[in-house]
Amino acid sequence: MFLWGQILELRQHHSHEIYAIWYVFSFFGLIFFVLYLLAEKDGKEVSDALGPSSAETLKAMYGYLTRVGDELRLVGAFVYLAIGLSY
């Protein structure tokens, strides 16, 4: 509820930045949905869906988007870059 109130407050003056944040995280969700589909079809792990050369990068990104602490750090960094630097 607190987050929703803050988004509504920021949306009045920084609507473009708020929409950009939601688009970026929706895009990541879509990417991982497609990776899950590819991995499920081949019977592999999600991190192995694109081959061994990108496995470490996918594991790191998956961790950033699924572990609460890492995700909050990622969101905080993105919010700082999108909104904090515009002041």
Q: Please give the average pLDDT of every successive group of 10 residues along the chain, which has 87 residues.
A: 74 78 85 84 76 79 79 83 75
How far, rounded to the nearest angstrom, does the alpha carbon of residue 29 sit from its chain's CA centroid? 7
Instruction: Give me the count of residues in the chain.
Output: 87
List the one residue out of 3, 28, 25, 20 whose CA is nearest residue 82: 20
pLDDT value at residue 1: 66
Phi, psi of 41 (to 5 degrees): -65, -40
In our burial notation (b when 16+ CB lie closer than 10 A, e otherwise), range 40-53 reads eeeeeebbbbeeee
Report if pTM > 0.85: no
